[in-house]
Amino acid sequence: MANCIFCKIASGETPANVLYEDDAILAFADINPQSPEHILVIPRKHVENAAALSAEDVNLVGSMVAAANKLAEDRGIAADGYRLVFNVGRHGGQAVDHLHLHLLGGRQLGWPPG
Ligand code: AMP
Ligand code: ZN
Q: What string of DSSP letters covers 44-85? A: SS----GGG--GGGHHHHHHHHHHHHHHHHHTT-TTT-EEEE
Q: Which residues of the chain have pLDDT under 50?
A: none
Q: Give me the pLDDT at residue 1, please.
A: 86
Locate the domains of the chain by residue range: 5-105
Query: Amino acid identity, residue 8?
Result: K
Distance (Å, rounded) from C-alpha 17 to C-alpha 66? 19
Annotated catalytic, 100? yes
pLDDT digits (tens, 9 = 90+) for 30-42: 999 999 999 999 9
95 lines ligand 1 (CB under 6 A): yes
30 lines ligand 1 (CB under 6 A): yes
pTM for this one?
Answer: 0.98
27 lines ligand 1 (CB under 6 A): no
User: 42: buried, middle or exposed (CB in 10 Å: 19+, 13-18, 0-12)?
Assistant: buried
Ligand 2: distance of its center to the CA of 63 in Å? 18
Cis peptide preceding 112, ω within 30 of 0: yes
CATH hierarchy code of domain 5-105? 3.30.428.10
